[in-house]
Amino acid sequence: MSAAVSIREVATLAGVSVGTVSNVLNRPDVVATATRERVLAAIGELGFVRNESARQLRSGTARAIGLVVLDVSNPFFTDVARGAEEAATEAGHAVILCNTDESVQKEARHLELLAEQRVHSVLITPADPSLEPVHKLRERGVSVVLLDHPAQLADACSVSVDDHTGGRLAVEHLLVMGHRNIVMVNGNVNRLYQARERYAGAISAMTDADRPADELGVVEVPAFTVAAGLAAGEEILARTPRPTAVFCANDLLALGVLQSMVRAGVRVPDDVAIVGYDDIDFAAAAAVPLSSVRQPRWLIGHTAAELVIAEAQEHGADKPGHHEHRHVVFTPELVVRSSSDFQRSKVRHRTTKRSSGR
């Protein structure tokens, strides 16, 4: 009901000019203490709230950064988002979270909206492999940081995790555990960079171990979700001979596969070993704790936000165009738990017996 109160009304109530009120808000040190307090009192009395639109119009750019992810429902991305938000908040920026569900159309629409908002910058896990909307954004002068995407391909900073190594670590581990019939549950290799790299890493582990590449089967899924993992699990169960190990490109898939194994009475890891990717919290908390390739989720988001803020500062202070794009690459780490480790799962079984014996 109460109409929006502007800086002008504050000024008249405090008996000063609008410029002074603006100074109180933005450079409090240049205004005398007495006046400042008078203005602040007026602000409180009127319940004045800055109009961010007007600020942005004046300054040309918003104090917000867009974060565009493939799936908000995936805990991996919410953790990345938390990291980004923390870094952004420190620098006085807000984060606008956008979800694409891997859809090129949704991605384009979100980027369009973000461009209209004149966001400070955009952190994005691209859904469109052509990166065309990303380039368009850069042409419009918006800083972009690519998440989980190859550094060299685009004229932008990037933060990623070495997916090739990640895939290799997982399959090396399974080979060491003696598995000779492994299947990888993966997304579309042409569409998603992560899917491509993790598969390549897996293959390199096979060749390094002098195993023929065709010992690594593939089940392609339409999405990185638990439901898709369940379907993949059914397909794996139907295969003869049944694979003895499954490497999933993502923990949600792994949880789905695990679930279909348990439902079918297939023991994990005794009959089938499973390794996931991302090491989300649900992985450790699964009924058969899931081995997984850990990525520094929070750090990815945090670093990306820091990078983009730094880029903007350089760009502003120094000569424009002088910015050197940085490419941060983290190294993933294999976390072995019961789902792929016979020894660990034995410990669990012993505990089981003891407990049920009392």
Among 30-38, 184-192, 261-269, 302-310, the segment contacting its own copies (CB under 8 A): 261-269
13, 42, 48, 197: which one binds DNA (CB under 7 A): 48
Which of its own copies, DNA, none sits in contact with 26, Cβ below 5 to 8 A by type?
A: DNA
Kindly state the smallest distance separating residue 97's Cβ from its own copies, in Å. 5
Quick one: 24 or 81, whose CB is closer to its own copies? 81
Kindly state the smallest distance separating residue 70's Cβ from its own copies, in Å. 13
Q: 132-139 and 104-116 helices cross at what angle (nearest 10)? A: 10
Rounded to an integer, what distance in angstroms lies between the CA atom of residue 278 and that of residue 255? 12
Kindly state the smallest distance separating residue 117's Cβ from DNA, in Å. 12
37, 45, 54, 105: which one binds DNA (CB under 7 A): 54
Task: Verify binding: residue 262, its own copies, rule CB under 8 A.
Answer: yes
Kindly state the smallest distance separating residue 115's Cβ from DNA, in Å. 11
Kindly state the smallest distance separating residue 260's Cβ from its own copies, in Å. 9
Kindly state the smallest distance separating residue 44's Cβ from DNA, in Å. 15
33, 53, 130, 152: which one binds its own copies (CB under 8 A): 53
Contacts of its own copies in 18-47 (CB under 8 A): 47
Binding mask 59-98 for DNA (x = CB under 7 A): xx--------------------------------------
18, 35, 46, 75: which one binds its own copies (CB under 8 A): 75
Contacts of its own copies in 207-226 (CB under 8 A): 225-226
Kindly state the smallest distance separating residue 335's Cβ from its own copies, in Å. 16
CA angle 282, 283, 289 (to 5 degrees): 120
Among 43-51, 161-169, 204-212, 268-276, the segment contacting DNA (CB under 7 A): 43-51
Cα-based distances in Å from 293 to 114, 167, 183, 283, 335:
33, 8, 16, 10, 6
Interface residues toward its own copies, by CB under 8 A: 1-4, 47, 49-54, 56-57, 60, 62, 72-73, 75, 78-79, 81-82, 85, 94, 96-97, 99, 112-113, 115-118, 136, 139-141, 225-227, 230, 255-256, 258-259, 262-267, 271, 281-282, 285-288, 320-321, 348, 351-356
Interface residues toward DNA, by CB under 7 A: 4, 6-8, 15-23, 25-26, 30-32, 34-36, 48, 50-51, 54-55, 57-60
